[in-house]
Structures are given as C-alpha cells and as structure tokens.
Chain A
C-alpha cells in the first residue's frame, strides 16, 4: 500500500477536552469586552493557523419590521451594507477584501443580521477599519439604492421556483396574524416591489438599528484579544449609541386550529406542514429545551414515524422538523414531502397522532440520554474551523450576546426528564394552536 501522508498541525485541544469537560458545551476560552457605547466584542483565540473569522451580529432581523408595508428591510440592509460608506466605495471595499483573500458575505434571519468575513490574520486591522466605516457611516445614493432593490427582487425570484419556500411562507402568514414572524426574512412580495420608493425609510431603518447597543463583534482565530480590543476601540469607539426600541406586537392567543392550501402551478410532490405554536428561546426555562430534545425523537430520522412513513411504508420522500431558537415564540413545524397525493390525509393524520402520542407518553429514558449525547457531539463536531466556531456562536450571540448561554442551555438539557418532555408537549401541542398548510400541483388540488 502506497501512502500519501500529510501531517497537518491542527490543534483543536478544546474539542479534545469534550470528554473531560463534558458539562461545558462551548469549550473554547473567550473574552467579552463591552465598550462604553454599548458595543460588545467577543474574542476567541484558536489554534487554527493563518485565518481570522469576523462575525458582526446585529440584533435586528425581520422581527424588527412591525410597520405595515415595510417587511424585508432588515434583509435589504444586508444588501445595502455592501454598496459603500463614507470613506470606501463598494468597489474600494471589494478591492481591500480581495487583497485579504477574504470570503465575505452576510445573512439575515427573523432575529438578526450577520456580516461575516474570513481572511488572512495580517489583514485584521484593515478589515475592522472597513467594517467600522460601513456600520457608522454607510453611504448609498438613491440610484444605487434602487438598483439594489432589484437584486433583492432577483433573490426572491430565484427562491420562488422552490415549492418548499412557498409552503413555508404561507405557513408563517397563516400562523401569525399580528407578530412580525408572519413574514419571512425576504418580506412580502408587494413590499419588495415597493422598496424602490422607500429610500427615506431605509435611512431611518439604518439610524434605528445600526447602533452599538444592537451590535456584537465576534472574532475567532489566529489572534490576540488585546490586539483585537485595541482595534475595536480605535475604529468603533466613536460610534454613537442610539435610543430606538422597536415595539414588536405580541401575537394574541390563537383560539382555533388553522389551515391553508397552496395550488402549485407545475408538477411537484405534495407537501404537508403541520405546526404548533411553540416557545421562545430560553437558557433557563425548560419549555424550549424539552421540545428541542423531543423534536429528533418524535420526528427525526430515527423516530418511529420516520421509520414507518419513510423507510417501511415509503409514503414519504422526506420528513423533517423545523424548530429554531427565536427571540419570540416560534413555530414547531413538521414538514413532509408526500410521494402520492392520495396519501396526504393519511400523512397529516399520522403526524397529528404522533404529536398527541408524545403529549401523553413520556419518552424512554435511554432515548432521551442518547439524544442529549447527540446534541453535544453534534455541536462539538460542527466546530472544525475558526469560521465554523464563529458561525456557531453567531446564533447565540444574536439571542443573548454571550457564549455563556450555550453552556447554560446544555446544562438545562441535562436537567430535562421524560416527564418534562411529555408535559411540554401537552402544553404546546394543543388543537387551538395548530396550523396546517398543504401544497399540491394545481391539477389535483383539492
């Protein structure tokens, strides 16, 4: 046997400590520094060489869009932030990042907008200077604004060929009547189409949310905390604190089961989405944690339901669940792609019975323990580069601004009992909090 051996010096010692420090889920040393203006810096030095991952997390997402006709602006900003600032045009910015060998992008969710780059460690100072300029002094002309709104429409259009995107959009609009989770991050299409006329509103949006008190800088990689702090103070220290607090309307209690249907214009497999109103993220209340542990047991690839409908009876092309960590109460969604439209009712019934089953019966203790093990390994295995660590942190930073919440959450998982899971299922999986959305090709639509 001829062997090619490349012994790369990857040292992920914190990960190595998984077994020993098993109570600490986020096993990297980190420092939190708060600047007087409210900006927070989280630095995580790692042994992965050469690269630094920079994630700037703004606690603003489509949740922060309560005004009628103004959905999709958090996401629009994710685009506008690339169009230039006072000292750097978009092109100059691109040139600098190109020299840094950077991978540079951004994303928006319901609760946060995240700007991220991974680049050569020597370029950290320059990249932070560049970032500081667009966060404090974004400058985009009206023409450029209008052009960018068309790119957003292009993004909506590219997504729109996927029936799953559409079903999810309709599910949200059906389940939420008042809260801003009623629209997806992209926003309602009519609002996207109106965006070119809303230049002034966009400036207002920036002035409200692109403020230090909403923002956390996460730096992970081949770096020293003291250096990073000095740079953050130098470039972000003069950033003025804002005072805007969004009034996000609470969703009133749902008093009836809801359903909706989508006729899809072309051939596709039917979809069944069965959702219940669930709890918000918490690292101390058991509600979300108990249902996090229940989700893979009840609806994951190892669940009895999956075994039955996907593997044995082969009625489904896929079965999955979506249950995100969110600032406000979030939907617990089970999504099924059905092979034959005549099985749609049967599948819906099977999913509903499974929800009810777990509201009555506690899961076996062994199943709970293996799920806890899975969540810990899943989290640890995911962090195999500085960028992956920063990426994993970003979600929690968006919720609580500290990696500590990860340890609290995993400690909370350890306290959950099978009875807790049953009780939380009984509390949340009630008929009046249910929303079902189906999608099927037009010809066979009901």
Chain B
C-alpha cells in the first residue's frame, strides 16, 4: 500500500478572508482536464472553531449498482455507518458516541457517497477513532445486515410508497427519465426485489471494489490540530488503490422519446401530488449553469414565497402549500430548506414540483404547471425579475454556506465540478451574467419536447380519462378572484395536453420500486 504525504501551500488571501490552497502543478493539470474520480485529494477548511466537521466522500454511488443489485451502494454505506466495526458492535459504537452527542451519517447518491459527522474538539480523538474503524475495518455482521436490509425495504415500502406522496412523485419522475438500463435508472435505495435477494457477500464485494483510494476525498473543517489531516491521510492509505473511472463509461444522456409521458401512481390518499421535468445537459461545471440557477430561483425558489410559480398557484389561487422548480437533484425537499451537499451528478434534470392539491383540482393544476412552463420558455424573464433574482442569489449564497459543515460540503462539490469555491463562483458568475444570457439559456436548455410527468392520486383512472379527453377542467374558488386570474383560468382550464393514450399509464403504488 502506497503511503502518501500531506503537503500544501497557502498562496492567496482573497478579499473575503478566505485562503485558497493552490494546488500543486500536477493538480492544476488535472483541473484543466477534469477527472471526477481523481482520488488523491483532500479538501481542508481549517479555522478556529472548536467544532470539527468530517465529510468523507467516495466518488462512487448507486450508479455503480449492477443490474439485479439495485440498492447495494446504499446498503453498503448503511452497513458502515449504522453497523459495527470489526472491533466494536454497533451498540458499543453508539454507546461510545452517546456522551459526546455525536453521530455518523451516510448519504448515497448516483456518483457520490458521503459519510459525515461533527464533534467538539474535546472529543476529536475518541470520535475519529470510532469512525476510522467503522470505515476502514467494518464488522459486516449478519445481524446488522439483516436489520439494515429490512430498513431499506421498509424505507421503500412504507416511508416512500406509504407515507410521503411528494417524495414518491419526485423519485418516480427520475425513473421515468432514466430507463432501468441507465446507471441512474433506479432509486438510490434500490428495489424491493433486488434488496430481498441481496447477500452480505454482495456488500463485502462492493466495499472492496468501491471504497478505494482512487474514489476517496477527505473533507475536514474546523479547529483540528495541525498534523491531523496528515494522520487521517495516513490511516486512509490503508484502503486499496482501486481503479479510476469505474462507471463513467456507462454514463450517457438518456435518449427520451419525444412527446409527453404521464405516469399516474394510484394510491389511497386525500390529495394529488405532481412532479414534472426533463433532462438538461447542464451542471455547475457548465458556463450556463448560473443562468439556469437564476431562472430556477425566479420561477420556483425552493420553499420560498419569492417565486413566480408560488405566487401564481398558491398566493393567487390557494391551490396548495407551495410550488417550486429545480435544476439539481434535491431530495427531502419537504423537510429541508437548503439542499444537502454532495449530490454531485454529471447529469441533472429540470423539475417542477407541485405540492399536493385537492383531487378535483389535479387536472387543472397539471395544466397550470404546463401553461406556466410554456410561458416561461416563450417569454423568458423580464429585466426587473432578472436583476432582483441575481441580487438575491448573490446574497443568498451566504445563507447556503452559513455553517462550516455546509462550507465543507460545497467545497467538496466545487472540487467535483471543477469550479471555484461556491460563494466566489456564484458572485463572479452572477456579476457577469446578462438578461440576454439568461433568456438564451432558457431557449437552449429548458425547451423540451419530451416532458415527463409523475402524479400520485387516488382516482387514477378518472384523472387519466380527464387528461386524454382534454375536456375543460374549470376551477372554483371560495372567494372572488381578480379578472386577471379568472381570465387566465379560462385559458388554463382548456389548455391542451397532447399525449397519446398509450403514454398515460397507471401504476398501483405497490408496484413502484418493487
């Protein structure tokens, strides 16, 4: 096993009081030729905080799940973070963490797996010793495996299918866009049938092939002692070297059939949840990402009343609790106000999330979402909207990176996307941006002839008939509305959704992620 040594040089102090460690020349080369799986890198944010944050990332994730093994990356991560190490059972680990009030979290997305936790500096040695053993010397006990496998199955069956229509709709949308043959083509937690067949040996094998130096990036922030990163690096040198670019070759943009496709999930539920979208060939690495970030914020800033869709559907019409738009994967949006970090992807989708409406308004709200989307593409943004949104995002980046854990997460993502640190990147790019850039980006990336729509509702057949018949879906309110709204309603209620009967499918909820 090759031992690597820590060396670095701080060369620049920006006006914001942020030091950037200049990468050695070798790294500078790799920056010009981005290599997402470049392994020999750490991201360090030393400061004087008594809190030490860890984000240990492996550049591998559910995209590496082989056919029939969907969910293996997630189950393996769960086995490391919620199972015992060789030296200690999981109970012994949680007992040791208890007085320190620490924990160790895991998150698996398509291309990134991250283990994170924070400790007070008082407990750094004890905490680090525990997580080091968990990641480097896992116990892989049968009882942990049985428990965590059942957890994964129950997550799919009851949390997702049985208790959260909104997340269900959002996740179904991704499976409509990425076919099962695509590495992104399954839910990160897997499928019930694949999980049921999964063995402990599968987990061991996955750990051996994916948890390697070549996929590892160590993220540390806080007031850790000077020699600490070196110690961590030396410890993690124990991992096998591994092969770079394990799954990259398999990734290709999904080729969607033109036209609209609608999947209606039938479930016993009070309301109707809608998610719609399509792939966009843009990530933070692309020069047009900041332009699209402005558009998404203007059109549907997450959990904010400061956005167009929210104003039209919730504020003006009282249809539901909120309506938002995204250009990056944003799971758990019903719980989180800010996005989680380390969900880096080579491919993203544009998504509109309509929170549940009363079933009688399901058809109307679907038309309203499509109508507003068409209007956005047709008309673009106004100068005022552009300027206020740009100003918002330039400042909001401070909110996104307010904690050191978030700063570390964003720094790791900036490394993945090969961009400057996120606040700098956003401020610089936004300052350069023009209204013309934004409106060009809308036409270039947000115009799609392959819309995918996921709906969760009780009367799936009724909604399907209504959509296919294209009959008007008038809406009634409990209070008079301004003429501007009622006139627009007339347009929306008759708005044509052009879709073939074969392209509107009904799926009983029990079959989803099965």
CA distance A10 to B42 in the complex (A): 20
CA distance A415 to B478 in the complex (A): 57
A50 touches B398 (CB 8 A): yes
B158 within 8 A of A: yes
B270 touches A142 (CB 8 A): no
A129 within 8 A of B: no
CA distance A386 to B40 in the complex (A): 34
CA distance A90 to B304 in the complex (A): 13
> Which residues B162-196 have CB closer than 8 A to chain A?
162-166
A2 within 8 A of B: yes
Query: How distant is A376 from chain B, measured CB to nearest CB, in Å?
Result: 8
B491 within 8 A of A: no
Contacts of B50 in A (CB 8 A): 12, 15-16, 18
CA distance A16 to B356 in the complex (A): 45
Contacts of B432 in A (CB 8 A): none
Contacts of B91 in A (CB 8 A): 302, 307, 311
Per-residue interface assignment for chain A, residues 373 to 384, with 1 indicating a CB less than 8 Å from any chain B CB and 0 otherwise = 111111011001
CA distance A144 to B161 in the complex (A): 35
CA distance A19 to B99 in the complex (A): 14
**In terms of DSSP, what is the predominant structure of the interface of chain B?**
mixed
A268 touches B21 (CB 8 A): no
B147 touches A158 (CB 8 A): no
Known: A119-B395, A120-B398. A146 touches B321 (CB 8 A): no
Query: How distant is A119 from chain B, measured CB to nearest CB, in Å?
Result: 7
Q: Which residue in B24, B26, B150, B393 is a CB contact (below 8 Å) of A314?
A: B150
A7 touches B23 (CB 8 A): no
B21 touches A4 (CB 8 A): yes
B355 touches A158 (CB 8 A): yes
Contact stretch, chosen from B1-9, B61-69, B246-254: B1-9
Name A366's closest neighbour in chain B (CB-CB). Answer: B99
Query: How distant is A201 from chain B, measured CB to nearest CB, in Å?
Result: 16
Contacts of A8 in B (CB 8 A): 17-18, 45, 47, 221, 404, 407
A98 touches B10 (CB 8 A): no
B396 within 8 A of A: yes
A148 within 8 A of B: yes
CA distance A149 to B358 in the complex (A): 13
A196 touches B162 (CB 8 A): no
Name B316's closest neighbour in chain A (CB-CB). Answer: A147
CA distance A155 to B319 in the complex (A): 10
A101 touches B150 (CB 8 A): no
B209 within 8 A of A: no
B465 within 8 A of A: no
Contacts of B223 in A (CB 8 A): 16
B447 within 8 A of A: no
B41 touches A3 (CB 8 A): yes
> Which residues B91-121 have CB closer than 8 A to chain A?
91, 94-95, 98-102, 118-120
Contacts of A378 in B (CB 8 A): 101
Contact stretch, chosen from A159-167, A228-236, A322-330: A159-167
Contacts of B51 in A (CB 8 A): 12, 15, 381, 384
A158 touches B320 (CB 8 A): yes
CA distance A321 to B223 in the complex (A): 34
B315 touches A10 (CB 8 A): no
Contacts of A12 in B (CB 8 A): 48-51
Name A143's closest neighbour in chain B (CB-CB). Answer: B479
CA distance A94 to B145 in the complex (A): 49
A100 touches B395 (CB 8 A): yes
Contact stretch, chosen from B342-350, B384-392, B435-443: B384-392
A161 touches B18 (CB 8 A): no
A150 within 8 A of B: yes
A118 within 8 A of B: yes
B44 within 8 A of A: yes
Name A441's closest neighbour in chain B (CB-CB). Answer: B162
Query: How distant is A409 from chain B, measured CB to nearest CB, in Å?
Result: 16
B19 within 8 A of A: yes
Chain B CB count within 10 A is highest, among A5, A51, A301, for A5
> Which residues B225-282 have CB closer than 8 A to chain A?
229, 233, 267-271, 273
A283 within 8 A of B: no
A245 within 8 A of B: no
> Which residues A300-327 have CB closer than 8 A to chain B?
301-302, 307, 310-312, 314, 317
Contacts of B45 in A (CB 8 A): 5-8
CA distance A60 to B488 in the complex (A): 39
Name B47's closest neighbour in chain A (CB-CB). Answer: A10
CA distance A145 to B480 in the complex (A): 11
Contacts of B464 in A (CB 8 A): none
A373 touches B99 (CB 8 A): yes
B20 within 8 A of A: yes
Q: Which residue in B311, B392, B402, B421 is a CB contact (below 8 Å) of A48?
A: B402
CA distance A135 to B95 in the complex (A): 47
CA distance A375 to B100 in the complex (A): 9
A265 within 8 A of B: yes
Contacts of B7 in A (CB 8 A): 1, 3
Known: A158-B334, A314-B146. A151 touches B411 (CB 8 A): no
A82 touches B321 (CB 8 A): no
CA distance A164 to B162 in the complex (A): 11
Q: Which residue in B6, B48, B389 is a CB contact (below 8 Å) of A3?
A: B6
Contacts of B157 in A (CB 8 A): 267
B47 touches A9 (CB 8 A): yes
> Which residues B58-81 have CB closer than 8 A to chain A?
none
Contacts of A82 in B (CB 8 A): 305
Q: Which residue in A91, A99, A101, A370 is a CB contact (below 8 Å) of B311?
A: A91
A349 within 8 A of B: no
Q: Which residue in A7, A142, A265, A386 is a CB contact (below 8 Å) of B46?
A: A7
A354 within 8 A of B: no
Contacts of B397 in A (CB 8 A): 101
Query: How distant is A17 from chain B, measured CB to nearest CB, in Å?
Result: 9
B306 within 8 A of A: yes
Name B43's closest neighbour in chain A (CB-CB). Answer: A4
Chain B CB count within 10 A is highest, among A51, A94, A161, A375, for A161
Name A51's closest neighbour in chain B (CB-CB). Answer: B398
Contacts of B304 in A (CB 8 A): 103-104
B88 within 8 A of A: no
Name A310's closest neighbour in chain B (CB-CB). Answer: B147
Known: A1-B6, A5-B45. A317 touches B21 (CB 8 A): no
> Which residues A189-215 have CB closer than 8 A to chain B?
196
Contacts of A51 in B (CB 8 A): 398-399, 402
Contacts of A142 in B (CB 8 A): 479
> Which residues B457-514 have CB closer than 8 A to chain A?
477-481, 509-510
Q: Which residue in B20, B24, B399 is a CB contact (below 8 Å) of A118?
A: B399
Contacts of B396 in A (CB 8 A): 101-103
- Can you list 25 pairs linking A and B with CB atoms under 8 Å apart? A1-B7, A2-B27, A5-B21, A8-B18, A9-B18, A15-B51, A49-B17, A97-B306, A98-B391, A101-B399, A103-B337, A147-B317, A154-B318, A157-B358, A164-B163, A196-B478, A268-B163, A314-B146, A317-B150, A374-B99, A381-B101, A384-B118, A384-B405, A385-B402, A387-B402
| Other contacts beyond A147-B317, A267-B510: 20, CB < 8 A | A1-B41, A2-B26, A3-B229, A6-B19, A8-B45, A9-B48, A16-B49, A94-B306, A105-B337, A147-B479, A154-B321, A154-B358, A158-B166, A158-B271, A160-B271, A196-B479, A302-B95, A311-B147, A314-B147, A317-B158
Sorted nearest first, the 8 A-B pairs with minimum C-beta distance are A101-B395, A5-B21, A150-B318, A146-B479, A147-B318, A377-B101, A370-B99, A378-B101
